[in-house]
Amino acid sequence: MFLENTINPKKRKGWIEVICGSMFSGKTEELIRRLKRAKIAKQKVEIFKPEIDKRYDDVAVISHDANQIHSTPVPSSANIPLLINDEDVVGIDEAQFFDMELVAVCNQLANQGIRVIVAGLDMDYKGVPFGPIPALLATAEYVTKVHAICLSCGNLANHSHRIADNNKLVMLGETDSYEPLCRDCFVEVNRKKAKKE
């Protein structure tokens, strides 16, 4: 690859960017900002999201503050390369809901000279690394960790605490189901919950 780029300096170079953090931290907002800037630069952009995410819209990627951009919902990460047609930039939202093949898909696209921007939760509601995000963090050239504000104490929050009574790993929800908490408040809430059980 290094020799190829030396011989052909005009060859388009690809890479992976990951935007991660808790719920309500601005991940999708940052993804949309980067994709809109690429469009302003007249780059060909395509955005994907998992089919299961229909919280705000069946098709559009929409942030909590109602910023939006058109996307293509797909059932699995294997569909993404099939829908690429000479794009310069590919955005992927809610990446934690995709299968583990997403890591290989993102690397394949980057190796083809595409800038890949991925946004998703880095931890589930239990504080455990979530889906393909940890492996994407390891292979990405650029990582941005964004934070919400802890609703309990006001410090920076990096946990998505589930307040709804549901133990499923994947549960789509909003402020009625989740709240951002800092490490200390997250540990304290879970300590109290464990005492009750």
**pLDDT tens, residue order, the chain (197 aa):** 344 444 455 567 999 999 999 999 999 999 999 999 999 999 999 999 998 865 555 555 555 555 667 889 999 999 999 999 999 999 999 999 999 999 999 999 999 999 999 999 999 999 999 999 999 999 999 999 999 999 999 999 999 998 877 677 666 556 678 899 999 999 999 998 888 76
Tokens, residue 75: 């059932």
What integer pLDDT is reported at residue 62 of this predicted model?
52
- For domain 2-147, give the fold: Rossmann fold (3.40.50)
Do residues 138 and 148 touch, judged by C-beta distance below 8 A?
no
Q: 163: phi > 0 → left, psi -120 to 50 → alpha, else beta; which?
A: alpha
Residue 128 tokens, joined: 């455990």
Torsion angles phi and psi, residue 116, rounded to 5: -110, 125
Contact 170, 128 (CB under 8 A): no
Residue bearing tokens 């009574």: 165
Element (H, E) at 180: strand 178-181
Q: Considering the entire predicted model, what is its pTM?
A: 0.84
Residues that are catalytic: 94
Q: Comparing C-alpha atoms, which of 58, 38, 24 is closest to residue 116?
A: 38
Q: How many CA atoms lie within 13 A of 189 on its CB side?
A: 20
Q: Identify the burial level of 29 via C-beta atoms within 10 angstroms of its C-beta, where 0-12 means exposed, 13-18 middle and 19 or more buried.
A: middle
First to last CA, the chain: 56
- Geometric angle at alpha carbon 187, from 145 and 164, rounded to 5°: 85
Return the pLDDT at 192: 87
- The pLDDT value given to residue 112: 96
Would you list the domain boundaries of the chain?
2-147
pLDDT (0 to 100) of residue 7: 47
pLDDT at 194: 83
Dist. CA 37–CA 117, nearest whole Å: 12
